[in-house]
Amino acid sequence: MGASAWEYYVPYQENLGAALEELQRRVFIAGEYYWAPGADWLPEEERRPRPSTMEELWVDEWTQHSGTHSILDVFHVQREDEEPEICAIQPVTAAEARSVAGTERLTREHVPAIQDLADERGYGRCAVLYDEYGARREIYFWGWSGD
């Protein structure tokens, strides 16, 4: 299938990990992810319904191999000072923001400038975005996943 880019905007909250968990819950419940065992290219008698829990999702061998091509493919938010790890979200640092966008207070207008900071499949990034008054408005999550 290949790698897929994904991106999401969520309302700002101080705890980035909690924001990630809420987003993942929403995506899972809405079924907004790739579910290989239910794909149209399979004969109808071989298709399986979507799982009812995240545990069921990740027990599936196809999902373990191919992922979901969504935010479900990452498992936690790292601290800014940690080395990037696969299947994790790394926050954009102030230095990175200054380097690619010229400011530490990123807005939606800066998103095109920061998108290349997530350039490898299996890794995700997040950035706090500010409104025109300088208040934290939302969190932008983005990355690449899939086989």
Q: What is the pLDDT of residues 8-54, one digit of tens each?
A: 999 999 999 999 999 999 999 999 999 989 988 899 999 999 999 99
Give the model's confidence band at 138: pLDDT under 50 very low, under 70 low, under 90 confident, else very high: very high
Please choose, from the candidates 75, 83, 67, the residue with its C-alpha nearest in 3D space to the C-alpha of residue 121. Answer: 67
Torsion of CA 98, 89, 122, 51, to 10 degrees: -150
Is the CB of residue 103 less than 8 Å from the CB of residue 110? yes
Residue 141 has pLDDT above 70, yes or no: yes
Distance of CA 93 to the CA centre of its chain: 17
Q: Which residues contact 10 (CB under 8 A, 6 or more apart)?
A: 19, 22, 23, 138, 139, 141
Q: What is the mean pLDDT of residues 76-97?
A: 93
Give the model's confidence band at 109: pLDDT under 50 very low, under 70 low, under 90 confident, else very high: very high
Distances (CA, A) of 18 to 23, 44, 144: 9, 38, 21
Domain that holds residue 9: 4-145
The reported pLDDT for the residue numbered 66 is 87
Is the CB of residue 128 less than 8 Å from the CB of residue 106? yes
The reported pLDDT for the residue numbered 78 is 96
Give the model's confidence band at 147: pLDDT under 50 very low, under 70 low, under 90 confident, else very high: low
Phi and psi at 83, nearest 5°, equal -65, 140
Residue 2 has pLDDT above 70, yes or no: no
Overall number of domains in the chain: 1
Give the model's confidence band at 80: pLDDT under 50 very low, under 70 low, under 90 confident, else very high: confident
Residue 140 has pLDDT above 60, yes or no: yes
> What's the mean pLDDT when you consider all of the chain?
94
Distance of CA 21 to the CA centre of its chain: 11
The reported pLDDT for the residue numbered 121 is 86
Token readout for 86 is: 């696969």
Question: Exposed/middle/buried for 145, CB within 10 Å: 0-12, 13-18, 19+?
Answer: buried
